[in-house]
Amino acid sequence: MSTEEFKHESLQDKESIVEYFTALSEGFSKGRLAFANKEKQIIFEPKGLLKLDVKAKRKNDKVKFSLKVSWKEESIDKKKDTGSLVIGLKDE
């Protein structure tokens, strides 16, 4: 079993965050999501059924909104890695 991981943390404002959503939504339209840093690249090719979880939460002044997309990569005989994409937003 192998694990590939990509992580990117940043601060955004409501204007700049749209660029991230646009890049992701383009990726879904093309059926190819690429995440890369200097050393490695992870490519997801979402097909078939994608599970989408949307969560929104407010607790006092802390707000959190998350989108989680998960699916299994196509494989008939053996189970392969599960593709999963999480988009989270948290108010500090």
Partner 1 sequence: MTRKRIRVLWLLASRMNNKMLSLDDLNENFRFIVLEVTKQLEETLKVLEHPNDKSIESIRTRDDYIDNLKSTIENKCFSRILNNPDADKKVVSLMRAVNIISNNLEKIGDYAVNIVGQMQYFSDLVILQEYNYKAFFEEILKALTSIVDALTKRDTSMALGICKSEIELDKLYDSNFKNILKALSEGKDIGNLITTLFIFQYLERAGDALLNIGEAIIFAIIGEKLKIHQYHALEETLNSPEIDTSLSDFEMDSIWEGRSGCRIGRIHNDNSQNGNSQEVIFKEGNINKLLKEKENLETWNDLFPGLPPRVINFQKNGQNASIAVEYLYGPTFQQLILGETDASTLEDALQLIKKTLKLMWEKTKKSQSVNGKYLAQLSSRMKDVYKVHPDFRTSQKTIGTLTRPSFEKLVSKAGPIDEELSVPFSVFIHGDLNINNIIYNSEAKRIHFIDVYRSRDMDYVQDVSVFLISNFRLAIFDPEIRSRLNYIATDFYRFARDFADEQNDHTFLVRLALGLSRSFVSSTRFELNQDFAKAMQLRAVYLLEKLVSYKGNWENFPLPEEVLIY
DSSP string, 40-85: -EEEE---S--EEEEEEEEETTEEEEEEEEEEEPP-SSS--PEEEE
Minimum separation from the CB atom of position 25 to partner 1 (A): 9
Task: Note the residues at the interface with partner 1 (CB under 8 A).
Answer: 6, 8-13, 16, 19-20, 22-24, 26-27, 33-39, 41, 92
The H-or-E segment that residue 87 falls in is strand 82-90
Which CB atom, from 11 or from 76, has the smaller least distance to partner 1? 11
Cα separation of 62 and 46, whole Å? 32
